[in-house]
Amino acid sequence: MNASPQVRSIQRRDVPRHSLDGLPPVLARIYAARGVTSLGQLNAGLGQLASPEKLLGIKEAVTILHDALDADARILLVGDFDADGATSCAVGVLALRSMGARHVDYIVPNRSEFGYGLTPEIVGVAACREPDLIVTVDNGIASVDGVAVAQELGMSVLVTDHHLPAKMLPTADAIVNPNQPGDRFPGKNLAGVGVIFYVMLALRSRLRAQGWFEQRGVSEPNLAHLLDLVALGTVADLVPLDQTNRILVRQGLARINAGHCRPGILALLERAGRWPGRLSARDLGFALAPRLNAAGRLDDMSYGIECLLREDEAEAARLAARLDELNLQRREIQADMQEQAQQAVTAITLNQELPFGVCLCDEAWHPGIVGLIASRMKERLHRPVIAFAPDQSGELKGSARSIEGLHIRDLLDTVATQHPGLLRKFGGHAMAAGLSLPRDSYETFREAFDRQVRAALDGNEPFQVVYTDDTLEEKDLSLDLAEQLLDGGPWGQHFPEPAFDNRFDVVDSRVVGDGHLKMRVRMSGGSRILDAISFRHLEQYGESCRAGGVRMVYRLEVNEFNGRRSAQLVVEHLEQHGAA
């Protein structure tokens, strides 16, 4: 069996009736297909954000933080080891310090030693710093045991999180999570950094109303200065870009493009060969996030958090260089693991059909990289994939990635319910999750997971559908439209970047860089020669590109080279003329 994605069809998005007069026709069509029904929904002003007061638990959270500030208490933030956790930590620390807190610190668990969240073990480490208050950021909603231990040791606990809760909630002093039962906040898709940002907005409002800043001689902070961090964490965590998140990301990108951002972000941009001015959400997700995440995957996320916190440009640059080194190491490790994963899939398909739910495991794999392997194999196979590696305790740590329409956390919940004790712990979102299980339970879990995925799909083979925003005319393949699309973002999860499909003739093609296909193409029946590039698709599309006539799904992007700006087609999918 071919272990590549099976594309059932190229399907054009439905465009409902709308009232988007005044926009260029192509943009109006794109927005309408993403559920935008009025121009007001495109207003990205901060005044359009929902009030923090709608968050369940926000009043109790603000009271706890206000009392801590008033008592000059020791506050310790407990973060997560990914980019959302790092930016959440940075936002919390910077905001609290700007409001007069003098004793604010953070701790982030080492991935391989402590695992995720406020575990009893990490509480023991935190206790050595003698905090009066623990504030979790981007974690905590599942930390029932850890919260209990912290409270037994005399610490108050404020949980701020965005992950889906289990049936039992921790007995924290307050919980702020838009996904907890009874919450009325409209932006259910906030990342962890968005949640702590909202908590800080509410705290500043309380302090302002009580005259805190005047009484303490503290300048009232402009928390919009933290939106660069909020944008980075939101994009990096791949949460859906609903209206709330689009506002946060757009405002943060505007600050970054104006050069008004943290020295650490500027330093990371420089390492990635990017410069403020015309950056998009894609730059945050593909250039900055991997460098920040590399610290948590291979070493200590404190490097990433410190890079974001430092005010000194030289120090920020030094830390960014370290993050860049770690990212290069991560890429090398990932390349080896990816090749091994593909070999494992090939071996599976020699003897049987490819499972609907794919589990991969190797004793030599790095536990910090398995999420990337799961993601890449999911893209290649178009099936839910869980990649496992052993941790220091001897258990298997798994990272899961799913396809559209299959809620991976709910699938794991069903498996756990049907097989009590099989999973040590699990948690996550619709598209991504983490879990752990004993080594000797791997085969049992692998079979149970595949059965559950088959049941969820009613036994139907999972096929990929490539969605587009219709065709473009040759005159539309212009720098002007490419810039309109760039400015029309941010694009991201559940608000996908525009993609189009047309038939082209390949004039010539060559391999460039790290296995990328650079092509010159002409629209069928057209006259202009256009540049096109396909990233990481050499194995899939090499033969098609030599065949001459192709049907191409592509994004229209701005390409900058040697100071010259031009339109470029970025290939998402390609097939020979006449393919179904």
The separation between the first and the last C-alpha atoms of the chain, rounded to the nearest angstrom, is 19
Q: CA–CA distance from 281 to each of 18, 173, 433 (Å)?
A: 26, 36, 23
Query: Is 146 inside a domain boundary?
Result: yes
Q: Find the CATH number of the domain harbouring 246.
A: 3.90.1640.30
Q: Is the domain of 151 the same as that of 54?
A: yes
* Per-residue pLDDT reduced to its tens digit, 400-433: 999 988 999 999 999 999 999 999 888 877 888 9
- Which amino acid does the sequence have at 380? R
Q: Is residue 348 part of a domain?
A: yes
Q: Are 381 and 240 part of one and the same domain?
A: no
Mean pLDDT value across residues 169-177: 98
Helix, strand, coil fractions of the chain, as percent rounded to 5: 45, 20, 35
DSSP output for 122-166:
HHHHHHTT--SEEEEES--TT-HHHHHHHHHTT-EEEEE--SPP-
What is the side-by-side strand order in the sheet with 432-437? 358-361, 385-390, 396-401, 432-437, 425-428
Are residues 163 and 189 located together in one domain of the fold? yes
**SS3 call for 271:** helix
Instruction: Determine, yes or no, domain membership for 41.
Output: no
- Give the pLDDT score at 276: 94
Strands (E), 214-253: none
Q: What is the pLDDT of residue 580?
A: 39
In one-letter notation, the amino acid at residue 331 is R
Judgement on whether residues 449 and 389 belong to the same structural domain of the protein: yes
Confidence of residue 560 (pLDDT cuts 50, 70, 90): confident
How far CA 182 is from CA of 178, 187, 306, 333, in Å, comes to: 9, 14, 36, 44
Handedness of CA 516, 519, 523, 525 (dihedral sign): negative
The domain boundary, picked from 428, 462, 496, lies at 462
507 has pLDDT over 60: yes
CATH of the domain at 566: 2.40.50.460
pLDDT for the residue 462? 83
For 231-287, the pLDDT digits (tens) are 999 999 989 999 999 999 999 999 999 999 999 999 999 999 999 999 999 999 999
User: Do 482 and 395 contact (CB within 8 A), yes or no?
Assistant: no
Same domain for 417 and 362: yes
Report the predicted TM-score, pTM, of the whole model to 2 decimal places: 0.92
Q: Do residues 190 and 170 both lie within one domain?
A: yes
Domain limits for position 543:
466-576
Q: Is the peptide bond before 367 cis (omega within 30 degrees of 0)?
A: no
CATH number reported for the structural domain that contains residue 357 in this entry: 3.10.310.30
- Average pLDDT value for the chain: 92
Domain end residue (candidates: 440, 462, 484) = 462
| Alpha-carbon gap, residue 389 to 364, rounded angstroms | 7
What share of the chain in percent tops pLDDT 70? 96
Half-sphere exposure of residue 484: CA atoms within 13 angstroms, side-chain side: 15
Q: What is the pLDDT confidence band of residue 510, given thresholds at 50, 70 and 90?
A: confident
For residue 331, being part of any structural domain is answered with: no
Question: What mean pLDDT is predicted for residues 188-195?
Answer: 97
Task: Evaluate if residue 538 carries a pLDDT over 80.
Answer: no
